[in-house]
Amino acid sequence: MLEAQISKTFESYEAAAYEPDETDRRIIQATQGGLPLDARPYHAVAEALNLDVEDVMARLKAMAEAGALRRIAALPNHYALGYGANAMTVWDIHDHMSDELGRRVAALDFVSHCYLRPRHPPQWPYNLFAMVHGREESEVREKMAEIADLLHSHLRSYDILLSTGILKKTGMRFT
């Protein structure tokens, strides 16, 4: 059974190719704006598409395992929840430790998203990205210092990109 994941994410940038069939595309189109607010959201999707609920869940699970679906998660508005300071922290860490360190950073309770991405030197040396939330900028900076302590000897440089507003709260859309 596919379980909704309302926890943090850690993603590597290596993803397998995936080709959705017509039924997958229908499921993607039906869910890309969010799951129905229903006690049984997969049943509601299946009913709307005239599909079997087990098929819907199996297909979503297959998409997730293939890397085509990153996660199913709640997308909170951090500002509405009282978190007025948000920042993407970016880290230049040793590649041979990036998976292990990325998972450790993602496990921190104040990190909502954590990604490994390719560097683009010399302009962009960073390979680890971690989204941090706090009530004030000083709180975000304290949390950033905790991450720096955790990365310690594997850390070469880092920076902070403070949010000024919500730019996007949706994923890619199929048309």
Q: Does the pLDDT at position 45 exceed 90?
A: yes
Q: Does the pLDDT at position 3 exceed 60?
A: no
Of 6, 34, 66, the last residue of a domain is 66
User: What's the average model confidence in pLDDT over 145-173?
Assistant: 84
The region of weakest confidence among 6-15, 57-66, 98-107 is 6-15
Find the CATH number of the domain harbouring 147: 3.30.70.3460
Q: Does the pLDDT at position 2 exceed 50?
A: no
In a domain, 1, yes or no: no
State the residue for tokens 């009530």: 135
Give the range of the structural domain holding residue 137, as residue numbers without chain letter: 85-162
The reply to whether the predicted model has a pTM over 0.75 is no
Residues 22, 51 share a domain: yes
pLDDT in tens, 49-66: 999 999 999 999 988 888
Give me the chain's average pLDDT, please.
85
Residues 24, 56 share a domain: yes
Close Cβ partners of 24 (under 8 Å, ≥ 6 residues apart):
59, 63
Q: What is the pLDDT of residue 64?
A: 86
The 10 Å CB-count burial string (b at 16+, else e) for 112-130 is: bbbbbeeeeeeeeebbbbb
In a domain, 8, yes or no: no
In a domain, 48, yes or no: yes
Residues 89, 139 share a domain: yes
Residues 158, 91 share a domain: yes
Q: Which residues pair with 157 in a beta bridge?
A: 92
Q: Does the pLDDT at position 145 exceed 90?
A: yes
Residues 99, 59 share a domain: no
CB 132 within 8 A of CB 28: no
Close Cβ partners of 1 (under 8 Å, ≥ 6 residues apart):
57
Radius of gyration, CA atoms only, the chain: 18
